[in-house]
Structure 1
Amino acid sequence: MTLGLGADSGDGREELPGGGTGELPRGWARATLAELCDVNPRAFDDEPEDGDFISQVPMAAVEAETGRIDASSQVRYGDFKKKSLTRFQENDVLFAKITPCMENGKIAVARGLLNGRALGSTEFHVLRTLGAVLPEYLMHYLLQRNVRTNAEQNMSGAVGQRRVPRPYLEALEIPVPPLAEQRRIVTQVEQQISHIEAGEDALAEATRRVSDLRSSIADTAISQHSESPWERLQDLLSEPLRNGVSAKATTDGTGIRTLTLTAVTRNDFSPQFTKVTSADPKRIKSLWLEDQDIFIQRSNSAELVGTSAIYHGERNWAIYPDLLIRVRVNQSRVLPEYTALALRTNRILFYFRQNARGLSGSMPKIDQAMIENVDFPVPALHQQREAIEWVKQQEAAIDPLAASVSEAQTESAELRAALLNAAFTGTLVPQDPADEPASALLDRIRAARATAQKAPRKRTQRKPRSAPPGQEELPQ
């Protein structure tokens, strides 16, 4: 087994194998997750009794990008032990493998588990460290946006069910400082992140207020025409609703420009919120964006599912992903801008969120039938134009606030990225020559694993799954 240790460069730092990836500080090593962790262990270290209560952790219980987990829900182990749910225990690292949970940063250290154990979503990879890497250090490393972007480029599967495969995660190499230095890094990272999060909490509240203001403005504009005939969206379409396509991101910058979900969440159709994918040109002829196309998120977190936005821009600028549904309306009956206003009213957003379906622990989803069945008042076209103009005048007052919030969010993300980059390149905290080199601990772990592999193992019959992988989840 090769640990991928660097060679001394002569100045106290070690060059990374392969070149071009930077240098490691003295005492650091580089190792794969397969060398550092037991990836997706099949059992607990200490099996609970049937009558024991343990935590249940659906996907919704892991916060995006914060590393926090809600382990307050519990189940009786005997009622669920035969189900093909994910088993994990205190200090395991959870890594959401499915889109969009992984991209959103649903990664956490399992903490505060009832009796130290839990059953969770089948959409988690579980990393149980072998001692050479701290769970918190590993979690913060994986939470880096560039790490998640690279994982996204290596997802497999299609049709909104793309996942990070286990072999990719096992082969992922990370820099490993001495254990004592990892503790110093984690302490400093968490101190600094607590300050960043305080600002981010304020920004999140400001974002919610801006969103609420926009919805309230839309509510007022649409309710003014409540006496007009009400129409179902299905009867106002110029063509059937259409999902996008799921395609793998490319690494060389060649391919098809494709929207990301953030384009709709932030109501910003800019290159910042696109990626280049390997979408098949033969399958995407009808997926190119046109001016005044409306897009609805068919799957996301509970607070974002059903979010919509209207595209204003040049034709054929990009395509859209499978997790978005495109709406094109008959403009002789209803204007796209007016339809977009209706779709972001609180009444329709509440309808989407209340009716979103999904197995417990997975992201809630809405389908085309739900969208087709929404209804709203449709006045004459000139009245629709008046409503649109009134909304633009009202929103002009909050646009500067929205722009400043967006700018601050970008700066906060850059600050967090810079902090983590410093942590994992050895510049956040000083090195201590007295620390045991990471290579020494890794060598001992390697030797112990080799010895364990030679020992005779008791053969056990594998229990059949009660449901296909990824399909069985915990009840809410």
Structure 2
Amino acid sequence: MNGMEPTSESGLVGSGLPDGWAYATLDDLADVAGGVTKDSKKQLDEAYPEVPYLRVANVQREHLDLAHVATIRVSPENAARYRLCRGDVLMTEGGDRDKLGRGWVWEDQIPGCIHQNHVFRARIWAEAMIPGLLAWYVNSVARPWLEANAKQSVNLASISISTIKQMPVPVPPPAEQRRIAEVLKGRLARLDAIEANLRTALDALDRLDSAVLDSVATGALESVSTAPPIDHVVEAVAEVSGGIQKQARRRPQDNPHPFLRVANVGRGVLYLADIHEIELFDGEIDRYRLKEGDLLVVEGNGSPDQIGRAALWHDEIKDCVHQNHLIRVRPGPQLRAAYLELVWNSPTVARRLQRVANSTSGLFTLSTRKLKSLVIPVAPLEEQDRLVKAARAHQSRISKARSTTRTALAHTAALRRGLLADAFAGRLVPQDPVEESAGELLKRIRVEREAIEAERKASRRAARARAKADARLTTPPPPPARTTSAVDTIGEQGTLPMEFSA
């Protein structure tokens, strides 16, 4: 088994575990099953009732997102077959790598809820393992095993139900499980609270950064005394132009050049680790070459708040061009490039961009024509310089605070990983040799399961016997065989024999 402790042939006991622990497969510990398959044809049958059902999007790592739970029409038989029970451990089949095996415990939050086929549920046998403990294990220590045993293609991964049933699980003795769960619950709750506070701090820093940008756009930045800026149409203060459309004939061959895409442009930042190339023809490099101080604006995005995000080009790559989904805004004599970038990414201009980008079809896209007519605030050049200098100082402090906060988040994540690793290696709480061992627990569960299975088989045999008996009782008897009588022979003799007496 890749990435986990190997098991022996007799009892799945692995080396390296504390005394009293044992390895088991997930199939030993739980009844693992997939969910209902969505059939669009059956959805049209209104005779079936609608029931709530969980999708992959509802099953997150160490929590369930039940804000938007869909419904599905299924037969009463399937509603009963796939109904979730309190204590079921839910695990996702896959998708991108972060989705593989993620999940949490179902607490019967929605009565009658079922689950789709891309979500597995593990219904633990008797007291084989505390559900929360198994869920913590699958979400942490088991991830390398899941990734190693999944089918992978590019960034997607999926694991079959037959494979996940064979996932090895270290099983502590029952009493120790309870102690581990109690300690994990308390410590993870404290880590969760710390992480929540750190994420709140990051959100506050983002809002502070936006406030700095807006102060530049309105000329109200603290410590800088300026007159309110005057609105100008972009076309009057800058040159706006489109980029190169990616086509088959543009495949880089004889004259390739670096080529910026939407993925390379963030809000106020460029991502230049992955740069593609495109073929240019005679004279095009002079027309499309980016220059120091060009502002690259994203033409469209699925999210309205990302429409028109922009970043400044500092000539990081020689003879670089850009695609047609990026619009180049080259500032004129009335604009400092750094000032233009700050103002452009401010909430004030972002709202104007959204209004300009909106269309009757509900799509959000920009064009060179729309950007030329956009109105932006422009301060005098001297004041632009002062505003940029003050804004950069504020942004530097915000950046340092953000970096510190992210480092703290990384530390909490490392603490979480270490805590869970210790929990499933037997290092979190002390062992007690007097307690029932995991091996005894697994043996007891195996005997109980065999008894249940024998009872089920006997019940099925009895049901089949009853069905045969009922079939014999309800089958009509065959018609009686016909016998030859005197009447039957009339046709043969023609007349009845007569006797005369003397």
Q: TM-score range by the shorter chain?
A: 0.5 to 0.7
**In the alignment, is the contact (CA less than 8 A) between 1:54 and 1:116 conserved in 2?**
yes
Structure with more relative contact order (C-alpha pairs < 8 Å, separation 6 or more) = 1
**In the alignment, is the contact (CA less than 8 A) between 1:293 and 1:311 conserved in 2?**
yes
SS in 2 for 1:89: coil
Q: What corresponds to 1:102 in structure 2?
A: 99
What is the Cα deviation at residue 109 of structure 1?
1.1
Q: What corresponds to 1:320 in structure 2?
A: none
**In the alignment, is the contact (CA less than 8 A) between 2:6 and 2:14 conserved in 1?**
no
SS in 1 for 2:104: strand
1:32 maps onto 2:30 in alignment: no
Q: What corresponds to 2:443 in structure 1?
A: 440
CA–CA distance in 2 between the matches of 1:174 and 1:153? 15
Q: Among residues 106, 123, 129, which one is paired with 2:123 in the alignment? A: 129
**In the alignment, is the contact (CA less than 8 A) between 1:54 and 1:119 conserved in 2?**
no
Q: What corresponds to 1:228 in structure 2?
A: 232
What is the Cα deviation at residue 389 of structure 1?
4.8
CA–CA distance in 2 between the matches of 1:179 and 1:326? 63
- 1:209-248 to 2 correspondence within 5 Å? 209-222=204-217, 227-229=231-233, 237-239=242-244
Given residue 188 of structure 1, which amino acid in structure 2 is its aligned partner? V
**In the alignment, is the contact (CA less than 8 A) between 1:294 and 1:336 conserved in 2?**
no
CA–CA distance in 1 between the matches of 2:141 and 2:324? 28
**In the alignment, is the contact (CA less than 8 A) between 2:331 and 2:340 conserved in 1?**
no
Does 52-61 or 179-188 show the bigger shift? 52-61
CA–CA distance in 2 between the matches of 1:113 and 1:449? 29
CA–CA distance in 2 between the matches of 1:241 and 1:342? 27
Question: Could you say if the C-alpha distance between residues 106 and 338 of structure 1 is closer, same or farther in structure 2, counting changes exceeding 3 Å?
Answer: farther
Given residue 443 of structure 2, which amino acid in structure 1 is its aligned partner? A
Given residue 419 of structure 2, which amino acid in structure 1 is its aligned partner? L
**In the alignment, is the contact (CA less than 8 A) between 1:181 and 1:435 conserved in 2?**
no
What is the Cα deviation at residue 191 of structure 1?
1.1
Given residue 393 of structure 1, which amino acid in structure 2 is its aligned partner? A
Given residue 88 of structure 2, which amino acid in structure 1 is its aligned partner? D
What is the Cα deviation at residue 139 of structure 1?
1.2
Given residue 22 of structure 2, which amino acid in structure 1 is its aligned partner? A
Q: Among residues 178, 183, 186, which one is paired with 1:191 in the alignment? A: 186
Given residue 199 of structure 2, which amino acid in structure 1 is its aligned partner? A
Q: What corresponds to 2:397 in structure 1?
A: 397
**In the alignment, is the contact (CA less than 8 A) between 2:89 and 2:103 conserved in 1?**
yes
- 1:26-425 to 2 correspondence within 5 Å? 26-42=19-35, 55-57=52-54, 61-62=58-59, 65=61, 67-71=62-66, 78=73, 87=82, 89-90=84-85, 91-96=87-92, 97-99=94-96, 102=99, 107-115=103-111, 117-119=113-115, 124-131=118-125, 132-144=128-140, 147=143, 151=147, 154=150, 156-157=152-153, 162-166=156-160, 169-222=164-217, 227-229=231-233, 237-239=242-244, 330=328, 332=330, 342=344, 345=347, 348=350, 370=365, 389-425=389-425
What is the Cα deviation at residue 425 of structure 1?
0.5
Given residue 181 of structure 2, which amino acid in structure 1 is its aligned partner? V
RMSD: 6.1
SS in 2 for 1:110: coil
What is the Cα deviation at residue 428 of structure 1?
0.8
**In the alignment, is the contact (CA less than 8 A) between 2:36 and 2:82 conserved in 1?**
yes
Does 446-455 or 133-142 show the bigger shift? 446-455
What is the Cα deviation at residue 36 of structure 1?
3.5
What is the Cα deviation at residue 179 of structure 1?
3.2
Return the index of the structure with the highest Cα Rg.
Answer: 2
- Name structure 2 gaps, 5 residues minimum: 38-46, 220-228, 248-262, 279-289, 318-322, 464-502
Q: What corresponds to 1:246 in structure 2?
A: none
Q: What corresponds to 1:248 in structure 2?
A: none
Given residue 105 of structure 2, which amino acid in structure 1 is its aligned partner? V
TM-score, normalised on structure 1? 0.57
Question: Could you say if the C-alpha distance between residues 42 and 451 of structure 1 is closer, same or farther in structure 2, counting changes exceeding 3 Å?
Answer: farther
CA–CA distance in 1 between the matches of 2:421 and 2:152? 27
**In the alignment, is the contact (CA less than 8 A) between 1:51 and 1:76 conserved in 2?**
no
What is the Cα deviation at residue 53 of structure 1?
7.8
What is the Cα deviation at residue 78 of structure 1?
5.0
Cα deviations across residues 146-172 of structure 1 (Å, max 9, x unaligned)? 7279639945345x7x24232553443
Question: Could you say if the C-alpha distance between residues 419 and 392 of structure 1 is closer, same or farther in structure 2, counting changes exceeding 3 Å?
Answer: same
What is the Cα deviation at residue 385 of structure 1?
8.0
**In the alignment, is the contact (CA less than 8 A) between 2:151 and 2:159 conserved in 1?**
yes
What is the Cα deviation at residue 215 of structure 1?
2.4
CA–CA distance in 1 between the matches of 2:218 and 2:393? 17
What is the Cα deviation at residue 330 of structure 1?
3.3
SS in 1 for 2:393: helix
- % of aligned pairs identical? 18
SS in 2 for 1:95: strand
TM-score, normalised on structure 2? 0.55
Question: Could you say if the C-alpha distance between residues 336 and 71 of structure 1 is closer, same or farther in structure 2, counting changes exceeding 3 Å?
Answer: same
CA–CA distance in 1 between the matches of 2:150 and 2:176? 31
- Name structure 1 gaps, 5 residues minimum: 9-13, 17-22, 45-49, 243-260, 317-324, 356-365, 459-476
**In the alignment, is the contact (CA less than 8 A) between 2:297 and 2:327 conserved in 1?**
no
